[in-house]
Amino acid sequence: MKKTPLLLLLFLLSFSVKSQDLELLLLAKDDSNLLIRNYMTPVMEGMLYSLNDGWYHTAKTHKKLGFDITLSANAAIVPNSSKTFQFNANDYQYLTLESGDSKMQTVMGENNKSVIAVRIPEAGDYKVAQFSLPDGIGNDLPLNAVPSPMIQASVGIPFSTNISIRYLPKINTDDVEGNLIGFGIKHNLTQYFGPIDKLPINVALFAGFTSMDATYNLGNVSTGFTGSNQEATFKLNAYTIQTVASLDFPIISLYGAVGYDTGTSTLKLNGTYELTYTYEGNNNTVTESVTDPINMDFNANGVRGTLGARLNIGFFKIFGDYTIKEYNTVTAGIAFSFR
């Protein structure tokens, strides 16, 4: 059965489903939102955590009009508890477990072998369908992690402050339109500590915001659906506030931070879909129309702690760090810095 891309996440990670299976799931109406939410949660949460990293590699700020250009990659490691979810039939009105294990794989898990049945009472008969969730893709990704590459520039302004902007080139094709942009500000606090600002110690306060959105036009691909105005949309807003400290020596910098992350995201399937099903009692084929069938909200928040190191080779920097939070995150990158 033909696989159809539903939505490009991070423009690197695709969520692919079998078009007929998705069509059958949409028959379950509200149940489909709960099931897809359980399946997609680790990617949606992972992106929120991942996009709050990679903002800095020292607490030290640039001199006025000093700047750096940074290329980095973050990878939010999905915890084992988020690789599976429990299918509880009592949570669903129209879905039941037809066969297999009730402990199912999420998109960041492994292979799904369980079969779910859809039965909806109507006129003495039942609409009937059965399907399996798509297999997880976690084992195909390094560290079983949600990745987010980043291009970022920072510039020094007065009052020992840096402003940063992060960006991914906008995608605008017949099928996909997407955009990512973020803003950050870092203010050096060491200047208020008297003689300590003569030491290789720097302390700063940082705040950052990242916004991402993507739209996948399902009308321009062969989905197997009939209908109109069909599209999948994704929106994300991630926020972080942190206290950063670093020891900055000529060859190496050691840095760490504590702070708090928060964020929200939405995933929607918009448009009108003509769905075909068969009555269980008499095998008559019927077509039903549903509009905007998927609308899900996700959120993630929590404290965080980061430890990292940077190698300084003149204006060229190589850095890496590890952040402990609900989805631990690994960051690595290079920077060209001119103070």
Where do the domains of the chain lie? 3-338
Identify any residues that bridge with 98 across adjacent strands, giving them in sequence order. none
Confidence at residue 7, expressed as pLDDT on a 0 to 100 scale: 35
Q: What pLDDT digit, counting tens, does each position of 58-96 carry?
A: 999 999 999 999 999 999 999 999 999 999 989 998 898
pLDDT, one tens digit per residue, over 158-207 is 999 999 999 887 777 777 788 899 999 999 999 898 777 778 999 999 99
pLDDT value at residue 124: 63
How far is Cα 244 from Cα 241, in angstroms, rounded to an integer? 10
Quote the CA–CA distance of 89 and 6 in Å, as a whole number: 26
Contact 332, 320 (CB under 8 A): yes
Mean pLDDT of 121-127: 67
CA distance 42 to 258: 23
CATH architecture label of 3-338: Beta Barrel (2.40)
In the block, residue with structure tokens 């990292």: 308
**In angstroms, rounded to a whole number, what is the distance separating the alpha carbons of residues 108 and 105?**
7
- Residue 264: the pLDDT is 96
- Please, is 151 exposed, middle or buried when counting C-beta atoms within 10 Å of its C-beta (0-12, 13-18, 19+)? middle
pLDDT of residue 19: 45
Distance between CA atoms of 25 and 130, rounded to whole angstroms?
Answer: 8
- Name the maximum alpha-carbon separation found in the chain: 87
Residue 18: pLDDT over 60:
no
